Amino acid sequence: MHKIPNIAVIRLALYAKHLEMLHNDGVELVSSVKLAKMCGANPAQIRKDLAYFGQFGVRGVGYYVNDLLNALKEVMGTNRTWRLGLFGVGNLGKALLGFEQFAQRGFIFTAAFDKDIDLVGTEVQGMEISQSEDIKEVIKGPGCFDIAVLATGADRAQDCAMRIVEAGIHAILNFTPVRLVVPENVFVENVDFTVRLHALCYSLTTGSDVTQRHPR
């Protein structure tokens, strides 16, 4: 597993997304050509990526949508519900809470934290907002979560990250511009919208498409 390129794992999520769309439309069988076209990839790339994890599909026939979708979910660990804890209930945080595809894809917010005393103790989407200092107490109850979603101000990001780590959480989805310093056994996925905006600006300025239409 350690020899699998990171980008191949990212592409698996893209394949699963489109397979789920096909499944919802009642499609039972899909060719590698059609799946590749949907994903903006090529059939050979899909076959290569899938081969890292096993043998899928029938030569000359294609892939059984439901079987491949379930197999990819098992590989990625998304065949279960994952609980999320939100840090920072500002504009971005509230937008993330309202993003319906999280729940549709098995990601459920179970806890919310903020430094604003006026917000602490109030409710958002049925969850009581707590202070990040209380994380260890919160995760002992219904607010227990698996993945931290960090949407605080930059000035509080590292401090919150350390509290998250100290509470025993090993995965952080980081929406702040701060590159977090965490132990090696803590996984951090950085989401920086400005980087993507810079890519768009470059493409508009030069006419050269460097955007990430699809992971390659």
Residue ranges of alpha helices (H) inside 25-153 are: 32-39, 43-51, 65-76, 91-97, 100-104, 135-138
93 is in an annotated binding site: yes
Distance CA 146, CA 138 (A): 12
Helix (H, G, I), strand (E, B) or coil at 44: helix
66 is in an annotated binding site: no
92 is in an annotated binding site: yes
Helix (H, G, I), strand (E, B) or coil at 100: helix
Q: What are the distances in angstroms from CA 128 to CA 89, 123, 152, 173, 183?
A: 11, 4, 17, 21, 29
**Residue 150 identity:** L
| Structure token pair of residue 70 | 């379930």
68 is in an annotated binding site: no
- CA 106 from centroid of its chain's CA atoms: 11
Distance CA 97, CA 35 (A): 31
**Residue 131 identity:** Q
Report whether 83 contacts 108 (CB < 8 A).
yes
Distance CA 131, CA 112 (A): 8
Binding-site positions read 88-93
Binding residues for NAD(+), by number, are: 88-93
